[in-house]
């Protein structure tokens, strides 16, 4: 009698003909089988990675649970009914003559008009509705729309329910902790249960990249197509000049054509049809695609009126209330749909993109506000003046005798004048505002990570502004575009997209790779430097890509860095690892300003310190430089020390970040905080800082700081890459017509494969050699004074999540040594230096602030909230 209590194994034994006493062979159901029954491999990998993600984040970001979400959707449905019903009622069932008192009601008892008097009787009302074809049409459309929403709601409930049970049973997360879970945690658990249950049956282990590929398969294709300018979204209509037209309707049509519509290129959610993978009959396939696009375009054209009415209703329902509540929201800006595609990294989830863009929002809108037309300003000022005087008189009269209000149209003219003044005021720039777009653009770049090369140094030009406004458009324009989209979409499909069918076929054939367990994905999303790197973006010598294969704007490189930084446990292939570590090291070197040429090994091998700690390290040494300034700078020095210590206390975390993998293990571990504080206490004097802020810190430290830290690091890398790229192009141009380049430059250009990296503003020249006497103190003091303003306003301009970290002053002051301040160098480098750059000393505080913001870009986010103490001085 054998008795196994092992894990299940193949039952080879039972196949043998007649094992003696087989009746008593006892097997045990392995642990975990029970939970497996609820958690088939289906929910996650077959159906709905996307839904897992949306579900988590729709819950997580609104901090409400399953029930709240359901309630919200139910109310939305009710609201829709109400809006339609009420609109129809207002249009057809109200006797406005009675309301406006043009007609008198013959009441016997009193002269008062009541609301019910104004309502028409039911039969009259329904007759009016029945007679009005347009109302019927609108009602039918809204009815269909509502039914669509209802079905979608039911469908969503089923999906949510399934995913909810997946979360609870398989991922072992309770609903109460779900809202507070981060995506990283969920992802880690998915990787975890793959090891246990093999939810994806093709491979033993699931990497982060696999999960991202699953979720973002089609989005990656879209990003790549926008990146390679394959989609027709840029147009040159005769009057408007170049403009970008990319709306939700258009995007929906693109997706319909490429990914899932009838006869699309994909045969199912995960694989391209085999005939599209072969090059043989590409012309025939292109023809077929072209005719499909034509048909879909025609269908769009036929459905145009319906969609148009739908759009108008939709816009009306969704925006009227908002506009009524805050009319300014139309003048506000938002990231356009095209911008979102253009700025999105490969393998970047929605919430990551949104948080990145939201962080850049403030700077971006400030940048756009720099460009107020002087003409408009003059007009607006005068209109405001006249409107204001009228308003003042009316108000004065009203105050004198309120019967003025009873005069017809007085109240309405007061309201109108008020609105008029508000509108005019938005065109009048703030008196204290200073035009300094270059720095603002740099701050924006730190968050959005992508911009065309020619923007650098041209930030003050209108062309740049116009191009930026394609990414960052007025909300009103956005709504308008959505409204005209039903008309324009078929035209674009039929006339522009159809011509590109061959390119599209080629694109899908050339840039699709099959990944085991994932299916067909866009090869750009593999982020392989060798295949898709662009030599100008640090991957020179490593890339073997032809021009056709290169991703534009350094997309591959930046995406790779972004992915590696946000997913520290991800283990990229050998070469990629090499690229990442090389780049990181280079950034460290430049950032610390350590004379690393002498001992590059010591930095990379001795201890993998964090970037920020590196930046801070030298700053303590060089804070002496401030000593000769005012008392202010003494404080600054103190602040530096504080900042340095605080940041260095972070370095245990970040070093483990570098040690890949240990990070999130540590971060999940129960003993994490104790390890952290041990690390903090380890650095002697730091203890003070730690104790002062630790209560606020420790709870949040784990995920919040880490994600913040990751985004900061990414900002630095993005800036660095753009910088060195810019240096490359500018440098060649620079040498031709001015000769103030240092003597060694030409040699370096020839000898080094990456000359631009050498010309990255090296900050170690700042503290040690007094290179250009005027530059250093000004930039330093600019940052120092800037930080005082930072204390007051800068804090608000930064990510609000950071505000809870209370603390001491002026991290920004040490940044000039950190390496990002090349203000001193910036002036000579530009040929047409902006006026304010040459006269930094006399500048109003605003520019200092921006300077400081620019200096501390990224890092200061962690710290600027500590400003207040300093600003008290």
User: Which residues of this protein are in contact with another protein, per CB under 8 A?
Assistant: 8, 10-11, 14-15, 17-19, 22-30, 32-34, 36-37, 40-42, 45-46, 50-51, 148, 151-152, 155-156, 197-202, 252, 260-263, 267-271, 273, 519
> In terms of CB distance, is 51 or 797 closer to another protein?
51
Cα distance between residue 194 and residue 179, in whole Å: 23
Closest approach of Cβ 350 to another protein, in Å? 14
> In terms of CB distance, is 3 or 409 closer to another protein?
3
Helical (H) or strand (E) element with 423 = helix 410-427
| Best CA proximity match to 201, nearest among 10, 42, 9, 421 | 42
Contact 464, 324 (CB under 8 A): no
Cα distance between residue 805 and residue 863, in whole Å: 8
Contact 482, 249 (CB under 8 A): yes
Cα distance between residue 858 and residue 443, in whole Å: 8
Closest approach of Cβ 315 to another protein, in Å? 16
> In terms of CB distance, is 42 or 277 closer to another protein?
42
Cα distance between residue 4 and residue 28, in whole Å: 7
Residue with tokens 């062309």: 463
Burial of 820 (0-12, 13-18, 19+ CB in 10 A): buried
Residue with tokens 């982020």: 527
Closest approach of Cβ 665 to another protein, in Å? 26
**Ramachandran class of 770: left when φ > 0, alpha when ψ lies in -120 to 50, beta otherwise:** beta
544 HSE (CA, 13 A, CB side)? 4
Contact 657, 613 (CB under 8 A): no
> In terms of CB distance, is 10 or 112 closer to another protein?
10
Residues 6+ apart with CB under 8 A from 576: 527, 528, 529, 560
Residues 6+ apart with CB under 8 A from 248: 337, 482, 485
Closest approach of Cβ 168 to another protein, in Å? 16
> In terms of CB distance, is 218 or 766 closer to another protein?
218
Cα distance between residue 328 and residue 345, in whole Å: 31
Closest approach of Cβ 267 to another protein, in Å? 6
> In terms of CB distance, is 218 or 760 closer to another protein?
218
CA distances from 242 to 245, 337, 500, 713 (A): 10, 17, 19, 35
Contact 258, 221 (CB under 8 A): yes
Closest approach of Cβ 357 to another protein, in Å? 22
> In terms of CB distance, is 202 or 454 closer to another protein?
202
Residues 6+ apart with CB under 8 A from 343: 335, 353, 356, 357, 448, 449, 450, 471
> In terms of CB distance, is 2 or 696 closer to another protein?
2
Closest approach of Cβ 501 to another protein, in Å? 19
Concatenate the DSSP letters of all residues of 682-709 into one string.
TTTTHHHHHHHHHHHHHHHIIIIIHHHH
Count of Cβ atoms closer than 10 Å to residue 777 Cβ: 20
Pair of tokens at residue 237: 């209509």
Closest approach of Cβ 25 to another protein, in Å? 5
> In terms of CB distance, is 273 or 460 closer to another protein?
273
Closest approach of Cβ 517 to another protein, in Å? 8
Closest approach of Cβ 421 to another protein, in Å? 42
> In terms of CB distance, is 11 or 399 closer to another protein?
11
Closest approach of Cβ 91 to another protein, in Å? 29
Sign of the alpha-carbon dihedral angle for 421, 849, 372, 378: positive
Tell how strand 234-235 and strand 243-244 pair up: antiparallel
CA distances from 432 to 14, 503, 721, 846, 872 (A): 87, 51, 33, 7, 22
Pair of tokens at residue 263: 């006869």
> In terms of CB distance, is 37 or 547 closer to another protein?
37
Closest approach of Cβ 721 to another protein, in Å? 36
Q: 335 φ, ψ to 5°?
A: -75, 130
Closest approach of Cβ 308 to another protein, in Å? 18
> In terms of CB distance, is 269 or 629 closer to another protein?
269
Cα distance between residue 313 and residue 738, in whole Å: 60
Closest approach of Cβ 304 to another protein, in Å? 18
């Amino acid at each position: 009698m054998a008795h196994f209590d092992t894990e299940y194994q193949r039952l080879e034994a039972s196949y043998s003909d007649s094992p003696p006493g087989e009746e008593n062979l006892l097997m045990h159901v392995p642990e975990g089988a029970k939970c497996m029954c609820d958690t088939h491999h289906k929910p996650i990998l077959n159906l709905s990675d996307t839904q897992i993600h949306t579900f988590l984040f729709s819950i997580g970001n609104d901090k409400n649970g399953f029930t709240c979400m359901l309630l919200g959707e139910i109310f939305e449905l009710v609201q829709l009914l109400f809006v339609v019903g009420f609109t129809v009622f207002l249009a057809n069932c109200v006797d406005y003559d009675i309301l406006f008192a043009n007609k008198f009601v013959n009441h016997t008892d009193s002269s008062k008009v009541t609301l019910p008097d104004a309502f028409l009787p039911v039969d009259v009302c329904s007759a009016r509705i029945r007679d009005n074809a347009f109302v019927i049409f609108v009602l039918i459309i809204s009815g269909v729309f509502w039914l669509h929403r209802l079905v979608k709601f039911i469908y969503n409930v089923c999906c949510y329910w399934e995913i909810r049970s997946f979360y609870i049973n398989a991922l072992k997360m309770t609903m109460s902790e779900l809202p507070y879970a981060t995506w990283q945690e969920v992802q880690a658990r998915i990787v975890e249960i793959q090891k246990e249950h093999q939810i994806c049956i093709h491979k033993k282990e699931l990497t982060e990249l696999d999960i991202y590929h699953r979720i973002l398969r089609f989005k990656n294709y879209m990003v790549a197509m926008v990146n390679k300018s394959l989609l027709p979204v840029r147009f040159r209509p005769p009057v408007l000049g170049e403009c970008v037209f990319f709306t939700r309707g258009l995007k929906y049509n693109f997706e319909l054509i490429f990914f899932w519509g009838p006869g699309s290129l994909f045969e199912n959610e995960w694989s391209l049809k085999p005939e599209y993978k072969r090059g043989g009959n590409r012309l025939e396939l292109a023809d077929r695609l072209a005719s499909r696009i034509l048909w879909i375009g025609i269908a769009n054209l036929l459905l145009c009126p319906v969609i148009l009415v739908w759009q108008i209703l939709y816009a009306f329902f969704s925006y009227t209330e908002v506009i009524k509540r805050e009319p300014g929201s139309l003048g506000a800006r938002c990231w356009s749909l095209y911008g979102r595609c253009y700025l999105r990294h490969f393998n970047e989830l929605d919430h990551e993109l949104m948080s990145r863009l939201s962080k850049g929002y403030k700077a971006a809108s400030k940048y756009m506000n720099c460009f107020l037309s002087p003409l408009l300003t003059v007009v607006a000022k005068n209109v405001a003046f006249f409107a204001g005087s009228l308003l003042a008189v009316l108000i004065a009269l009203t105050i004198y005798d309120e019967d003025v209000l009873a005069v017809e149209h007085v109240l309405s003219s007061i309201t109108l004048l008020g609105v008029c003044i508000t509108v005019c005021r938005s065109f009048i720039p703030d008196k204290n505002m200073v035009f300094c777009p270059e720095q603002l653009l740099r701050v924006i770049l730190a968050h959005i990570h992508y911009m065309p090369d020619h923007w650098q140094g041209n930030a003050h030009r209108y062309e740049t502004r116009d191009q930026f406004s394609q990414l960052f458009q007025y909300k009103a324009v956005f709504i308008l575009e959505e409204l005209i989209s039903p008309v324009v979409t078929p035209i674009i499909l039929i006339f522009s997209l159809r011509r590109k069918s061959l390119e599209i076929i080629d694109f899908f054939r050339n840039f699709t790779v099959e990944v085991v367990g994932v299916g067909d994905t866009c090869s750009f999303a593999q982020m392989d430097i060798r295949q898709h790197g662009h030599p100008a973006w640090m991957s020179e010598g490593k890339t073997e890509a032809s021009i056709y294969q290169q991703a534009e704007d350094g997309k591959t490189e930046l995406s790779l860095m972004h992915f590696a930084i946000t997913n520290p446990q991800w283990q990229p292939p050998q070469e990629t690892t090499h690229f990442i570590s090389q780049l990181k090291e280079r950034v460290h070197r430049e950032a610390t300003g350590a004379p690393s040429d002498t001992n590059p090994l010591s930095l990379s091998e001795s201890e993998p310190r964090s970037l920020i700690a590196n930046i801070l390290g030298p700053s303590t040494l060089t804070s002496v430089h401030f000593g000769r300034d005012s008392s202010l700078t003494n404080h600054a020095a103190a602040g530096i020390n504080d900042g340095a210590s605080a940041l260095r206390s972070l370095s245990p975390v970040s070093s483990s970040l570098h040690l890949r993998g240990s990070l999130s293990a540590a971060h999940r571990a129960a003993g994490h905080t104790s390890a952290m504080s041990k690390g903090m206490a380890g650095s002697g004097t730091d203890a003070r800082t730690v104790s002062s802020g630790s209560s606020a810190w420790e709870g949040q430290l784990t995920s919040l700081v880490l994600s913040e830290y990751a985004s900061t690091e990414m900002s630095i890398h993005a800036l660095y890459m753009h910088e060195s790229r810019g240096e490359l192009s500018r440098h060649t141009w620079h040498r031709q017509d001015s000769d103030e380049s240092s003597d060694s430059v030409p040699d370096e250009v020839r000898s080094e494969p990456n000359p631009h990296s050498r010309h990255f503003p090296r900050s170690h020249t700042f503290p040690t050699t007094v290179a250009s006497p005027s530059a250093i103190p000004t930039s330093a003091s600019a940052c120092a004074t800037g930080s005082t303003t930072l204390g007051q306003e800068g804090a608000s301009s930064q990510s609000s999540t950071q505000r809870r970290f209370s603390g001491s002053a002026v991290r920004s002051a040490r940044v000039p040594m950190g390496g990002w301040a090349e203000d001193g160098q910036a002036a000579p480098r530009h040929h047409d230096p902006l006026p304010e750059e040459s006269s930094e000393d006399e500048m109003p505080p605003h520019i200092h602030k921006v300077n400081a913001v620019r200096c501390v870009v990224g890092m200061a986010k962690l710290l600027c909230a500590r400003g207040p103490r300093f600003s008290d001085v």
